[in-house]
Amino acid sequence: MNSIGCTTQLASVLMEADAASLAKITFLRNMNHEIRTPLNAIMGIIEILMMKIREPEQLKLLNKSNAAAHNLLELLGNVLDMEQIEEGKMELDECNFDMAALLREIVSLIENRANAKGLSVQLDCDAALPERLLGDATRIKQILINLVGNAVKFTERGGVTLSVQLKSRDAEGVQVLFAVSDTGIGIAHDHIERIFRAFEQDDNSATRVYGGAGLGLAISKSLVDLMGGEIEVSSIPGQGSTFAFTLRLKMAAKEHTRRMMLHRGQVAEQKSLADSCFASR
């Protein structure tokens, strides 16, 4: 077979592979939608019942049902995301968002699950952070929900803290440090490396006790990598863990404008002061 024939055959094989990949992702998206629709209805009904029912045993059963529904919903999204990441089809969107509002939303989403276990959820947001930033808010939210959700899942006593701190700032943007700490079961030092692999957890018995498919951390690491950041974990078995990652985010146009106005105001104030000094001489 000549080189032209080989090239044509290779192109044909690649087209078939792309078509198969697209068909697989399309199927997963359709199944995701078909399952999410009734599942969201079930979760809505459960939440209504939880507001109406006061009998402890019934509330306990409803909490378990609600947790199971959330786990299934999370699994559906994670399977689709993992497939897109592995196929190299995951795309990031840059939007203007309010960091403080995003963090409050994450805490409000997790708080009910934490409170049901008697856990506290604390938010520590650096006041020096710009009011508005540019980045993929949806994916940042997904990473944090995965990390905070895991922290709640693997913690029986104490609480979880979500901390967001400004590491550095320049004319173009900021470097932000996100950290999620818990007082949970912790992770053995020699198991830390593998927890970021898909379908793996620190201890496979944890899957039976706490649930989960081991996709959340793998996806979180992949998303942090896509955004040019780094993620790491420190842990002491029996005392808790801290997952931390850094991201470089641009400042939104509004923030740039606000800084320019402040700068101009300072210059005007300094000029006015200088003029008054000269006038008094």
* Of 33, 59, 86, the domain-final residue: 86
Contact 139, 227 (CB under 8 A): yes
Rounded to whole angstroms, the Cα distance separating 7 from 23 reads 24
Q: Are residues 69 and 135 in the same domain?
A: no
Full-prediction pTM beyond 0.75? Answer: no
pLDDT of residue 239: 93
Residue 272 lies in a domain: no
Q: Are 54 and 180 part of one and the same domain?
A: no
Asked, for residue 266, whether it belongs to a domain, the answer is no
Residue ranges of the chain with per-residue pLDDT less than 50: 204-205, 207-212, 256-281
Give the structural domain span for 247: 95-256
pLDDT at res. 237: 93
Residues 15 and 75 in one domain: yes
Calpha distance 163→181 (Å, rounded): 8
Q: How far apart are CA 215 and CA 225, in angstroms?
A: 15
What is the domain count for the chain?
2
Per-residue tokens: 201? 């957890």
Q: How far apart are CA 69 and CA 28, in angstroms?
A: 19
Q: How far is CA 190 from CA 40, 195, 196, 208, 242, in A?
A: 39, 10, 13, 21, 16
Query: Does residue 100 sit in the same domain as residue 57?
Result: no
Work out whether strand 120-125 and strand 132-135 pair parallel, antiparallel, or are unpaired. unpaired
Alpha helices in the chain (DSSP H): 3-52, 56-86, 99-116, 137-153, 204-210, 216-226, 253-280
- Residue 79 and residue 179 share a domain: no
> Residue 59 is part of a domain; what is its CATH number?
1.10.287
Would you state the structure tokens that stand for residue 189, as one six-digit string?
Answer: 């030092």
Report if residue 264 sits inside a domain.
no
d(CA 43, CA 70): 8
CB 18 within 8 A of CB 77: no
Place of tokens 């689709």: 80
- CATH number, domain at 192? 3.30.565.10
Do residues 101 and 235 share a domain?
A: yes
Regarding whether 144 and 55 lie in a shared domain, the answer is no
**Structure tokens given for 71:** 């786990």
- Residue corresponding to tokens 């409170």: 115
Asked if the structure places residue 268 within a domain, the reply is no
64, 86, 108 — which closes off a domain?
86
Identify whether 271 is part of a domain. no
Identify whether residues 33 and 105 lie together within a single domain: no
